Structure 1
Amino acid sequence: MSTSGEHPLKFGIVTDIHYNPETETGNQTEAGLERCIEKWTREGAEFVIQLGDLINREGPEAEADLIAVRDMLARFPGKVHHVAGNHCLAVPPERYKAIMGLDSLYHTFASHGIRFIALDGMDVSAINEPQTEADHHLLEYYRDVVKAPFYCGAIGARQLEWLVSELDLALKNEEPVIILSHLPLLEETTDEKHGLLWNHEEVVAILSRYPNVRAVLSGHYHAAAKAVRGGIEFVVLAAFGGGDGVMDGDCLIVKASGNRLVFRSRQDDILLNLDNT
Structure 2
Amino acid sequence: MNYPHRTENYILELRGDLSIKGCRKLKLESDQYSLIEAANGLEDMRLFSCGGKLYGIGAGIRDAGWKPSEQREITQILLTLDALGNVLNQNVLNSPLGYDVEKNWMPFEHNSELHIIYSVDPLTILKVQGNQLIQLGSQPSLSKIIHEDMKYRGSTNGIPFRGGYLFVIHNRRRYGEKHAYIHYFMFLDRDLNLIQISEPFLFDRPGIEFAINLVESGDSVLISYGIADRQSRVISVDANRVADLIGIS
TM-score (norm 2): 0.34
Choose between structure 1 and 2: higher helix proportion.
1
| Larger relative contact order (CA 8 Å, sep ≥ 6) | 1
TM-score (norm 1): 0.31
